[in-house]
C-alpha cells in the first residue's frame, strides 16, 4: 500500500508543489477563504500529471510539456515567488516598468530562480516521458475531461487573461483625455524654494492630532515644531479618489474637472523637476483616478503596481526613496509628492515598528491614534532630512479626508463635518516660529495656495489666494458623493 502511494504520487505531487509555489499560488494560503483554492490547484494538478504520465504517445502530453516550458520561463523571472499569483499588479508592472522607477519587472532574474526552473522543467520532462511506475491510477472519461480543464496550466493562463483585460481597462481610464501638453498660461515664475515636498496624508481627521488640541500627545514633534497650520481646513470630498481629484486638478465653475490641468503639469510647465512617490496603489478601482495625475510626473515611484490593497508596505519605505531622490537631483529645483498609506483602515496594519501607545482605548482606536504618532515621526524625518540638504525647502502636509470615529472604530462617511475636517500645515526653511492661521480654507483653493508656494502665476489661478492673503471662506462647499453642498449644512 505504502509502496503504491509512493510510486504513484510522490513525483507528481512534488512537481505540483513546485509549480504552485513558483507561479505564485502560495499567496492563497494567507487568506482563510482562499486556502481551499490553493489545495484544489495542488491536488487537481497532481492528478493531471499522473494522467499525462500514463498516457502514451499522446499529443496532449507534447502540448502540455511545451506549456510547462512556458510556465518554467515565467517561474524563472521569480515574479510568482515574490509577488504571488497572477494579478492586475503583475501585468501593470510588466507594462509600466519603463515609466515607473519602482517597478522592477524581470529585473530580479537571479541564478537561483533560473536553476530552480531549469531543474523543474527537466524533472517534468523526465516524469512525463521516462518515468514508468508498475502502479497505475485508472481515470474514467469524465475525470479526464475535468482534469484537462482544471489544471494549473489553464488556471494560470485564465488568470493572466483576466488580469490583462483588467489592465487594459484601467490603462484606458488612465490615459483617456489625459495625454499631450496642457498650457497653464503661466504669467510669471519666481521660485521660492529649491525643494518642495507635498505630503498627501490618508484618513487623518484633525481633531485627533494634539497639534489641533487633542488631549493625547499624538503629534509631539508638531506640537513644538515651527509649523504654520490652518485651524479650519476642509477637504473637497469625503474619500480618497473623489477628494484628491478635486484637490489636485483644476475644476471650472461648472464643476468640470480638467484632469490634465493639475498640480504636476503646473510644476512641469514651471520647469520644476517633478517626482511622485506613492505607497498607494497604481491601478485599480480607487487608485487609477489619482494615478491619472501622478503619471505626469517626470519620475514616478509606486510601491504597489496593483491596487492599494495588493500588498502592505510601511510608509517609512517612502523616506528611503525621498532620500535617494534628494541626492540624485541635488542641483535641480524639485517638487516631490509623497502619497502615504497613513492611517487607512485597518490602522493596525499601518503601524509596523510603531508601538501602540493608547491601551486605555479599544484596540482599533489604539492603533488609529498610534498611527498619528507614526505620521508625526514621519514628518519629523522628512523635516530633518530636508534640513540636511542646506537648500531652501518647504513641506506641505494635508490629509485627503476626515473620518467618522466612534468608540469601537472609525469609518469613511459623508454625513458630518468630521468627514471633511482635515489638518493642513507647512514647515519650511524660512519658517522659524509657530503660526496658527485662523481661517476657514477649502481644499478647492489648494491649487491657488500651491501655486503661491511654487511662485507661479497662471491665468487659470488666483494669485491673491495664496496662503498669506487668502481670506476666510464662510461659504465652503463639499462634494458629498452626489452633490456640491454647503459644508455648514452638515452636522
In the complex, which residues of this chain contact Zn ion (CB under 5 A)?
Answer: 202, 240, 400
User: Of 52 and 237, which has the nearer Cβ to Zn ion?
Assistant: 237
User: Of 333 and 339, which has the nearer Cβ to Zn ion?
Assistant: 339
The residue behind cell 531543474 is 119
Q: Where are the beta strands (DSSP E) in 119-211?
A: 186-189, 195-201
Q: Taking the complex as a whole, how short is the minimal distance between the CB of residue 402 and Zn ion, in angstroms?
A: 10
The residue behind cell 479599544 is 362
Q: Compute the distance between CA of residue 131 and CA of residue 53 in angstroms, rounded to an integer.
A: 7
- What cell was used for 35? 486556502
CA angle 89, 92, 95 (to 5 degrees): 155
480-483 contact pairs (CB < 8 A, 24+): 480/237, 480/238, 480/414, 480/415, 481/237, 481/238, 481/239, 481/242, 481/414
Q: Taking the complex as a whole, how short is the minimal distance between the CB of residue 196 and Zn ion, in angstroms?
A: 22
First to last CA, the chain: 73
For residues 166 and 249, the answer to whether their CB atoms sit within 8 Å is no
User: Of 287 and 400, which has the nearer Cβ to Zn ion?
Assistant: 400
Q: Taking the complex as a whole, how short is the minimal distance between the CB of residue 189 and Zn ion, in angstroms?
A: 32
User: Of 243 and 262, which has the nearer Cβ to Zn ion?
Assistant: 243
Q: Taking the complex as a whole, how short is the minimal distance between the CB of residue 133 and Zn ion, in angstroms?
A: 57
Q: Taking the complex as a whole, how short is the minimal distance between the CB of residue 282 and Zn ion, in angstroms?
A: 16
User: Of 47 and 308, which has the nearer Cβ to Zn ion?
Assistant: 308
User: Of 228 and 400, which has the nearer Cβ to Zn ion?
Assistant: 400
Q: Taking the complex as a whole, how short is the minimal distance between the CB of residue 202 and Zn ion, in angstroms?
A: 5
Cis preceding linkage at 435, omega within 30: no
Q: Compute the distance between CA of residue 368 and CA of residue 364 in angstroms, rounded to an integer.
A: 6
Q: Taking the complex as a whole, how short is the minimal distance between the CB of residue 401 and Zn ion, in angstroms?
A: 5
Q: Compute the distance between CA of residue 352 and CA of residue 340 in angstroms, rounded to an integer.
A: 14
Q: Compute the distance between CA of residue 346 and CA of residue 71 in angstroms, rounded to an integer.
A: 36
- What cell was used for 114? 533560473
For residues 96 and 282, the answer to whether their CB atoms sit within 8 Å is yes
User: Of 194 and 400, which has the nearer Cβ to Zn ion?
Assistant: 400
Q: Taking the complex as a whole, how short is the minimal distance between the CB of residue 343 and Zn ion, in angstroms?
A: 9
Q: Taking the complex as a whole, how short is the minimal distance between the CB of residue 449 and Zn ion, in angstroms?
A: 20
262 DSSP β-pair partners? 249
User: Of 76 and 414, which has the nearer Cβ to Zn ion?
Assistant: 414
User: Of 237 and 365, which has the nearer Cβ to Zn ion?
Assistant: 237
Helices 152-175 and 35-54: crossing angle in degrees, nearest 10, is 130
For residues 413 and 238, the answer to whether their CB atoms sit within 8 Å is yes
User: Pairing state of beta strands 299-304 and 273-281?
Assistant: parallel
Closest C-alpha to 261, from 301, 300, 238, 292: 292
User: Of 202 and 376, which has the nearer Cβ to Zn ion?
Assistant: 202
Shortest-Cβ-distance residue relative to Zn ion? 240
Q: Taking the complex as a whole, how short is the minimal distance between the CB of residue 478 and Zn ion, in angstroms?
A: 15
Q: Compute the distance between CA of residue 286 and CA of residue 53 in angstroms, rounded to an integer.
A: 46
The residue behind cell 509631539 is 220
Q: Taking the complex as a whole, how short is the minimal distance between the CB of residue 303 and Zn ion, in angstroms?
A: 16
Closest C-alpha to 233, from 97, 421, 98, 368: 421
User: Of 202 and 421, which has the nearer Cβ to Zn ion?
Assistant: 202
Amino acid at each position: 500500500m505504502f509502496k503504491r502511494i509512493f510510486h504513484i504520487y510522490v513525483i507528481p505531487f512534488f512537481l505540483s508543489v513546485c509549480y504552485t509555489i513558483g507561479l505564485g499560488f502560495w499567496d492563497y494560503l494567507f487568506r482563510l477563504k482562499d486556502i481551499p483554492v490553493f489545495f484544489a490547484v495542488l491536488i487537481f494538478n497532481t492528478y493531471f500529471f499522473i494522467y499525462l504520465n500514463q498516457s502514451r504517445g499522446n499529443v496532449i502530453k507534447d502540448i502540455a510539456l511545451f506549456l510547462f516550458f512556458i510556465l518554467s520561463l515565467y517561474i524563472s523571472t521569480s515574479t510568482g515567488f515574490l509577488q504571488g499569483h497572477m494579478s492586475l499588479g503583475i501585468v501593470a508592472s510588466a507594462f509600466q516598468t519603463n515609466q515607473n522607477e519602482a517597478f522592477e519587472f524581470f529585473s530580479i532574474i537571479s541564478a537561483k530562480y533560473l536553476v530552480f526552473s531549469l531543474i523543474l522543467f527537466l524533472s517534468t520532462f523526465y516524469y512525463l516521458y521516462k518515468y514508468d511506475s508498475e502502479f497505475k491510477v485508472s481515470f474514467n472519461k469524465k475525470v479526464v475531461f475535468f482534469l484537462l480543464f482544471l489544471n494549473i496550466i489553464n488556471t494560470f493562463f485564465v488568470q493572466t487573461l483576466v488580469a490583462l483585460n483588467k489592465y487594459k481597462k484601467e490603462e484606458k481610464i488612465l490615459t483617456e483625455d489625459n495625454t499631450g501638453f496642457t498650457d497653464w498660461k503661466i504669467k510669471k515664475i519666481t521660485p521660492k524654494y529649491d525643494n518642495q515636498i507635498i505630503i498627501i496624508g490618508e484618513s487623518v481627521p484633525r481633531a485627533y492630532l494634539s497639534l489641533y488640541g487633542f488631549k493625547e500627545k499624538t503629534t509631539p514633534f508638531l506640537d513644538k515644531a515651527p509649523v504654520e497650520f490652518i485651524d479650519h481646513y476642509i477637504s473637497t470630498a469625503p474619500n480618497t479618489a473623489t477628494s484628491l481629484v478635486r484637490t489636485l486638478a483644476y475644476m471650472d465653475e461648472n464643476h468640470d474637472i480638467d484632469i490634465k490641468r493639475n498640480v504636476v503639469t503646473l510644476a512641469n510647465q514651471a520647469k520644476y523637476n517633478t517626482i511622485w512617490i506613492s505607497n498607494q496603489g497604481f491601478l485599480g478601482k480607487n487608485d487609477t483616478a489619482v494615478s491619472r495625475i501622478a503619471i505626469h510626473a517626470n519620475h514616478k515611484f509606486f510601491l504597489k503596481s496593483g491596487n492599494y490593497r495588493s500588498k502592505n508596505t510601511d510608509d517609512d519605505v517612502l523616506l528611503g526613496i525621498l532620500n535617494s531622490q534628494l541626492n540624485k537631483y541635488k542641483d535641480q529645483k524639485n517638487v516631490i509628492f509623497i502619497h502615504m498609506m497613513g492611517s487607512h483602515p485597518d490602522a493596525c496594519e499601518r503601524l509596523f515598528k510603531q508601538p501602540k501607545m493608547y491601551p486605555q482605548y479599544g484596540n482599533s482606536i489604539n492603533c488609529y491614534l498610534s498611527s498619528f504618532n507614526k505620521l508625526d515621526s514621519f514628518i519629523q524625518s522628512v523635516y530633518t532630512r530636508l534640513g540636511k540638504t542646506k537648500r531652501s525647502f518647504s513641506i506641505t502636509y494635508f490629509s485627503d479626508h476626515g473620518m467618522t470615529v466612534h468608540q469601537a472604530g472609525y469609518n469613511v462617511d459623508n454625513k458630518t463635518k468630521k468627514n471633511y475636517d482635515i489638518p493642513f500645515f507647512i514647515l519650511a526653511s524660512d519658517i522659524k516660529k509657530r503660526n496658527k492661521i485662523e481661517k476657514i480654507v477649502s481644499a478647492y483653493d489648494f491649487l491657488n495656495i500651491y501655486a503661491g508656494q511654487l511662485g507661479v502665476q497662471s491665468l487659470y489661478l488666483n494669485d491673491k489666494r495664496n496662503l498669506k492673503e487668502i481670506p476666510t471662506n464662510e461659504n465652503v462647499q463639499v462634494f458629498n458623493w452626489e452633490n456640491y453642498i454647503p459644508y455648514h449644512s452638515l452636522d
